[in-house]
Every structure is written in structure tokens, then in C-alpha cells.
Structure 1
Amino acid sequence: MKASSEEREPLLENIRALSQPLRNRADLDPLVETLAGARIVMLGEATHGTSEFYLWRAAISRQLIEKHGFDFIAVEGDWPDCYRVNRFVKNYPQSGERAREVLCGFDRWPTWMWANWETVAFAEWLRKYNCGRERAAGFYGLDVYSLWESLDAIIGHVRATDPQSLALAERVFGCFQPHDRDERHYARHTAATHQDCADEVVGLLLRLAHRRPRHEADPEGDFDTEQNAHVMVNAERYYRTMVAAGPGSWNLRDTHMMETLNRLLLYHGADSKGIVWAHNTHVGDARATDMRRAGMHNIGQLAREEWGADLVRLVGFGCHRGSVIAGRRWGGERQKMPLPEAPAHAWEGLVHRALGDDGLFLFDGEGGCDQFLQSRGHRAIGVVYNPQYERFQYVPTELARRYDAFVHLEETRALHPLHIEASREAEPPDTYPWGF
């Protein structure tokens, strides 16, 4: 059959030439080999509600942990919730018997991001893998939102192990108590009165950083407590910054993520290696998008700048069509929504036209990537989504500068939530646990 004029387009031909098939886990080998020598590997996602993004990230991470000695996963999630998963996968005392029970503890909206069957399967596998190993692989949260949860965790820790710090922790609690766990109320109050709790949370952090209590049931208890204090300091600043226009709160959040990642690497030792799971908007280098013009940075950019390109690998994920879990407004009911076909001019649309199938792209600087340096739309869906506004969900992106590799999935399915809002008796989906 004679090729159509569309099929002869240089860009489509270039996409075909650079693509590698992605049919099963064995096809990940070339990607895993390029990631193995890095200190930091970041694995993205184009939405927060797509099953395949979680499954492929888990498959890549499993190989990096099993074959190349990576020490932990750090995800776009709250520290206290994710630390409970860390205790579970390392089989610490009183850490729970089933991953589903532990993940049902994620009760901050959007619960489905981590309270889902895909994460249950990975956590169960990681617990089995860690069994009997002296150096167990961990699971941690990078995010900055958990002001109240981190304070609760600190009070619980110091009450049990460090009574001398309890009075200071309770003083911090008293400072925040009038705001009834409402971050927006606290932010508005500080903007109106110029009175805040910054000195109190910094004082608590300094106190906790200089004491060394014993944690009988948790080898990482001291690190956990200190990290919760760091979260509180940055969360307090984040919510105050949030009321002002501009990129300040975004930049503070991603700077906190980078600082947390660095603390995890330091804690795990000079030879440690970590994997990050977060949205493409955090993972992909912001300098290759319109975020740069807006004065925004992200953890992918910060990691490259601090550690150097040789030690950092950024992997983006995208899809052409399918379904997704999201809410139509912040805090709203989650829904399974259709994910329309990507427009022909966007990166996902171009790869669809060129391949019509899943594909893997490695941008290794060996040539053939010039066409991928064009700025084109790249799908980005968060936890709030409305399909009729799909055309606004694309970030101008120079693909080969934003990522070191890109995974394209032709058709994807919605994530499988645990349905913890409605019922704790939900059954796993038919294909669970997806090969784990």
C-alpha cells in the first residue's frame, strides 16, 4: 500500500524510527539499563487517576530495586500516611497485616491517589521482597500538605518517647487550634493580622533535631519525627504563601519535595539510590515547558541542577485516550470519566498517528531527537478534571529536554480506588494483583 502524505511527514517518520516496542515487561530492559546508573530516577504520570501509569511505574521500580539495589520509593503523597506504608513494607511491629488496611488510612482528598488496588499490589510485593533482607526498600511521602497530621504524629511520638518535648509540641498545637484544622482559615487569618505560628514550628523543629530518644518499635522513629517537623515548618509557610498570587506556593512545595528527597538519600547512606513517583508537572524539567516563563521550578529541574544530569533520570508518561478517575471540583466526588483522544498536533496525538500503539522513547543525545525539541502540547490532568475542557489540559513541552525517556500508552483505564468513602468491604478488581 502506498504511504499517505501524512505518513511521509518527517516528524512521524522520526517518531517511528526512535520508538521501541512496549508490549510486556521484557521490553522495559533498555529503559531500565539507562536508569540503573542514576542516583535519582523520577517516574511521572500524565494524570493522577490512570491504572497503567501506576502499573508501569511499579514494574520499572521493581526491576530497579531487585536488580540494581535502589533503596526507596518517594511519592507525591503526605509523609505521615506514606510512612505507615513504609512501616508495613518493612514489617515493623504493629505495622498491619494487609496493605489494603494500611492504605485505607489515606483519608485526605483525593484518597484514590494512593488508596487504590494498584498501590496495594505493589506494597504487598515490596513487603514480601523485604522479608529477611538487612537493607529493606522503603516507601515515603514527599509532599507538604500534612500540617495537622504531622503535628498529630509529633505529639504521639514525643508523648511516648520524649516527654521533655511535649510541652513545646502542645504549645504549637495551641497556636493552630483556633483554626480548627482549616488551612484556608489559617492563611486568611495570617494575611489579615500578620500573626502566625512560624516561630513556634521552627522552635519545635530545632528542639526535635537535637534530641535522640529511643524508639523501641521503630528503627526510623527519630527520622520520622524530625521529618514531620520539617513538613510542619514548610506547610505553615506554604499555606501562608498560598493566599498570594504568583508562583511562590508552587515553588515552595517542590523545593520541600527536593529537600525531603535529599534527606532520604542522606539518611540511607552515601551509596543510596531513590525512585520518585509524581506527576509529570513535577518530574519533567520545568525549563522545557512554559513553567519557566511563569517563574516556576519543579523537583525534576532542581534535581538536575543539584545532582547533575548524569545522576538524574527523568521519565515522562503519556496516553492517547481511555478513562480516568478525577473529581469535577476540588474536594468533590470522584468519578470515572472518559479521556478523549489527544489532538493530532499534541505529542500524544503525533505518537498515535505515527505508531497507533504503545511505545518507548529514549532521548540519549545520540541524534535523531531534533524533532522532539519542538514545543508542543503534552497532556496534564490533575485530580480536578472536566472532559469538556480537555483543550486546556496541555502543557507546551520540548519533550526531549523535559525527559530522558518517554513512555506512550495508546489506551489506558481508570485507576481502581479502594472505595473507602463508601465501603471498606470492596473487592479487588478481576485482574488484581496484575502479575505481582
Structure 2
Amino acid sequence: MGRYGDEVAAMAVPLHDAGDFDVLIDRVGDARVVMLGEASHGTHEFYRWRALLTRRLITEKGFSFVAVEGDWPACARVDDSVRRRPDAPEDPRAALAAFDRWPTWMWANEEVVDFARWLRTHNAGLAKEERVAFHGLDVYSLWESLREILTHLREHDPEEVPTALAAYRCFEPHGEDPQEYAISTRFVPRGCENEVVDLLVRLRRQADADGARSFGAWQNAEVVAGAERYYRAVLGGGQPSWNVRDRHMDDTLDRLLDHHGSGSKAVVWAHNTHVGDARATEMSLSGLVNVGQLARERYGAEQVVLVGFGTHSGTVVAGEAWGAGTQVMSVPPARPGSLEDELHHTAPGAALFTFPRSEQPDLLTTTLPHRAIGVVYHPERERWGNYVSTVLGERYDAFLWFDQTTALHPLHTRRVDVLEPETYPSGV
């Protein structure tokens, strides 16, 4: 038995089915935000068990919406389906299959289809205003969001169309290539910032006036503003662009909680690197923040429950380069001395760890390497990459462990054209 064997034995709850989440459900209590991570964007077990836990949070704790590390416009089409809106696909699979931004498999996969179908069925028994929503938090959909804004304004507020067209035409010369736009700001430092701010101010004002009808357009304007800042920051690389992105996701989450009402509660699905408090990792040494940290700071630690995920070995869906075709890759055994190596030798094959709030054992207070697999993955680099130094008990409130894992099931595996620059760090 490893160094932490007795501690693991005392904390581990073997996972057989969703009923084994009882301790964690109790820990959630009245928390307003529960964030569920993943150690990769391509692992079946992470997606399956995250969905099972989310079902219980919705049915037993009354959570109002699921917010994912995905684009607002694409997720809005899924939301229309699961909330059974007129003219939306009756099968959410159709909305998910339409995801066309690399890496498509993150949300266009059979595991998310299963959850979305369950959510649509669940919502059938609820009044329209009580139906559980599905939203995107991410920042990438600049041009898609601009087009959505134009469509909305042409139908509901034609007088504001020129404002949106001014922003669209400012970006248009760059051919929907964010890197080309970012480079142009070296020569025209303000870029399209003025046009974007003008559009955002007008749509905020409109949303204040007519509420829910214009909320989607307002959020699309926030995406445009966030994307403009993000692509500008990408030129500097590393920390600035990461922080712009995670602060955008944090602000979007807060906006959604406000939109859904004072008693609303959110489940967030994102990579561990976004969910687990950055202050408990080496990320903080580089000045990085993330959504988990920002939520704890905004709402208080007692209102936020952060749940990490991990695996020792198996298979995963990823790409060998940004924009490359989808592959099923081997995940080699975890690095010796890592968290995953310790749990491999001491924990059940599938287990839940819900951490004590005080008097934590050494496993939770010691800095250990913790695996993080991005959408771009090179298994041969495991010896010196793909790990984040972590104090587990400070980074998360609970942890789901799966010793052997398998690749998830994408809806399509075609290569797609990619204009967005690779995310930092490691394509997560």
C-alpha cells in the first residue's frame, strides 16, 4: 500500500451507481454553484459520471441550468431543444451534431446526447419558466455571435441594425480569422474596440428594457466584446489570454445566475484547469486565475463546490495538433509520485472522495503532480508535461477517481477548418 493508503481507505467511497453520490450531495447542501471538472475533454467516464451527478443535482437540489465550456450560440440551440421551444429540434442530437468548432467532440458526443435527451424528458413535466437550461460560457464565437445579433435586431429592433453592422464590417476585412485581426491591432491599436463597446452598451440597455427577450442578444454582445479582448491578448501569449477567457466565463456565469433569478443555481462543466482553484496550483505562480477561484471569491467558498476528476491510464479522444483529426490515443500509466500514481496503488477502481473542511490528511495538503490532458495530446511527453502541481484539498472540495478509463464517443470525427489560435495552456 502506498504512502497515503490509510488516508485513501478512510475517505474513498466506491462508485457503482449514482446512489453512491449521497455524501457529496449532502456536502453540496445549499450551495449555489457546483463545478464539475474533467482531466481531459475526451474521456467517457468523466462525461458519464458527471452527467449522473448533474441529474441528481437537478432533481434533488433544484439546480436551474448547466453551463459548459462551450460557445454561447451553439449551446443556445441545444438549450432550445432541451427546453422544448417551438421550432427547435425534438432530438437534441441534431443540435449537438451541428457543433462545428474544433474540437467538435467536446460537446458533439454520444455522452452529452444522452444527458441532453434526459434533460429534455425531464423538462417535459415542468412549466416553461421552470425548465432547466443548457448554456455556453466560452468566448470564441465572435463572428457567430455577431450574426446572431444581426438576426435578432432585424426582427426585434431594426433601428439598431446599423450599430451591429458597423461592428461586423469592422471585423469583416479579416475574413473571420482572429489571428489576422489580432495582428492588425499592432498597427491600429484600438482595432474594433469602439464599435464593439457601442454595440454592447446599446444591447445592455435593450436587455434592461425588455428582459428575457433580448438577453441572448446581450450575451452575444458580451461574447463579441470578450472575444475581441481575447484575440488581442493572444498576441502576448500565455497568461493575459487565459485570464481574459476565464474572467469572461466567470462574468457569464454571474450574468446567468442573475438572469435565472435570485434562487437560481448553476452546475458548471469544464476542464479541471478551469474548475479547480488556481491558487492551489502552480498556475498562480504565473499570475493565472480560473473560474473556480473567481467563483469562490465572488460568492464565498461555502456557496461553491468544486469537484475534480482523475485517471491512471486508458484511452482518450484528442488531436495530435490544433485542428487535427480526432484520434483515440492511449493514456499511459501515471507518472510515478503523482496523485494518480498514488491513487492507482491505494484507491478502488472507481471512487468518490469528499474532503473534510478541516483537519485534512496529508494526501490533501501535500503538493503532488496532478494530470491534465488537453485537446492536443502527446502521450510520449508524459514524463515532463501534462501535469499541474496541486494541493488537492485546496484545489477541490471533492474528487472523482477512475483508475482505468476509455475514450468517449464523438458524433463525427472529420477534420474541421480552424482559425482560432490554440488555447493556453495545453489546449484546455
Q: Does the CA-based 8 Å contact 2:75-2:136 persist in structure 1?
A: yes
Normalising by structure 1, we get a TM-score of: 0.92
SS in 1 for 2:410: coil
Q: How far apart are 1:367 and its partner, in Å?
A: 3.0
Q: How far apart are 1:61 and its partner, in Å?
A: 0.6
Is residue 326 of structure 2 the alignment partner of residue 331 of structure 1? Answer: no
Q: Does the CA-based 8 Å contact 1:18-1:368 persist in structure 2?
A: no
1:374-395 Cα deviation digits (max 9, x unpaired)? 1111010111001111221110
Separation of aligned partners in 2, 1:320 and 1:246: 28
Q: Does the CA-based 8 Å contact 2:3-2:342 persist in structure 1?
A: no
Q: Does the CA-based 8 Å contact 2:360-2:393 persist in structure 1?
A: no
Separation of aligned partners in 1, 2:104 and 2:291: 23
SS in 2 for 1:211: helix
Q: 2:126 is matched by which residue type in structure 1?
A: R
Q: How far apart are 1:343 and its partner, in Å?
A: 2.0
Separation of aligned partners in 1, 2:247 and 2:154: 30
Across the aligned residues of Structure 1 and Structure 2, the Cα RMSD in angstroms comes to 1.7
Is residue 273 of structure 2 the alignment partner of residue 287 of structure 1? Answer: no
Which residue does the alignment assign to 1:426? none
1:383-426 Cα deviation digits (max 9, x unpaired)? 1001111221110000011000011101111010001638xxxx
Is residue 163 of structure 2 the alignment partner of residue 168 of structure 1? Answer: yes
Match of 2:300 among 304, 308, 315: 308
Percentage identity across paired residues of the two chains: 49
Cα distance change on mapping 1:50 and 1:246 into 2, 3 Å: closer
Structural mapping, 1:100-139, within 5 Å: 100-134=93-127, 135-139=130-134
Separation of aligned partners in 1, 2:80 and 2:209: 17
Q: How far apart are 1:221 and its partner, in Å?
A: 3.9
Unmatched segments (≥5 aa) in structure 1: 1-6, 423-436
Which residue does the alignment assign to 1:77? 70
Is residue 221 of structure 2 the alignment partner of residue 229 of structure 1? Answer: yes
1:21-42 Cα deviation digits (max 9, x unpaired)? 1122111111122123210000
Structural mapping, 1:42-57, within 5 Å: 42-57=35-50
Q: Number of paired residues?
A: 413
Deviates more, 1:135-144 or 1:365-374: 365-374
Separation of aligned partners in 2, 1:140 and 1:349: 35
Which residue does the alignment assign to 1:249? 241
Is residue 88 of structure 2 the alignment partner of residue 95 of structure 1? Answer: yes
Which residue does the alignment assign to 1:158? 153
Q: How far apart are 1:146 and its partner, in Å?
A: 0.8
Q: 1:341 is matched by which residue type in structure 2?
A: P
Cα distance change on mapping 1:224 and 1:354 into 2, 3 Å: same
Q: 1:167 is matched by which residue type in structure 2?
A: P
Q: How far apart are 1:362 and its partner, in Å?
A: 1.1
Q: How far apart are 1:195 and its partner, in Å?
A: 4.5
Q: How far apart are 1:10 and its partner, in Å?
A: 4.3
Q: 1:11 is matched by which residue type in structure 2?
A: Y
Unmatched segments (≥5 aa) in structure 2: 416-428
Q: Does the CA-based 8 Å contact 1:73-1:275 persist in structure 2?
A: yes
Q: Does the CA-based 8 Å contact 1:281-1:298 persist in structure 2?
A: yes
Match of 1:273 among 251, 254, 265: 265
Separation of aligned partners in 2, 1:222 and 1:257: 20
Q: 1:136 is matched by which residue type in structure 2?
A: R
Separation of aligned partners in 1, 2:225 and 2:356: 39
Match of 1:351 among 334, 343, 346: 343
Deviates more, 1:107-116 or 1:204-213: 204-213
1:76-115 Cα deviation digits (max 9, x unpaired)? 0000001111111101111112111111111000000000
Which residue does the alignment assign to 2:57? 64
Is residue 252 of structure 2 the alignment partner of residue 260 of structure 1? Answer: yes
Separation of aligned partners in 1, 2:111 and 2:237: 36
Q: How far apart are 1:153 and its partner, in Å?
A: 0.7
Cα distance change on mapping 1:190 and 1:129 into 2, 3 Å: same
Q: Does the CA-based 8 Å contact 1:49-1:415 persist in structure 2?
A: yes
Q: Does the CA-based 8 Å contact 1:104-1:420 persist in structure 2?
A: no
Match of 1:205 among 193, 200, 217: 200
Which residue does the alignment assign to 1:196? 191
Q: 1:293 is matched by which residue type in structure 2?
A: L
Cα distance change on mapping 1:69 and 1:278 into 2, 3 Å: same
Separation of aligned partners in 2, 1:336 and 1:27: 30
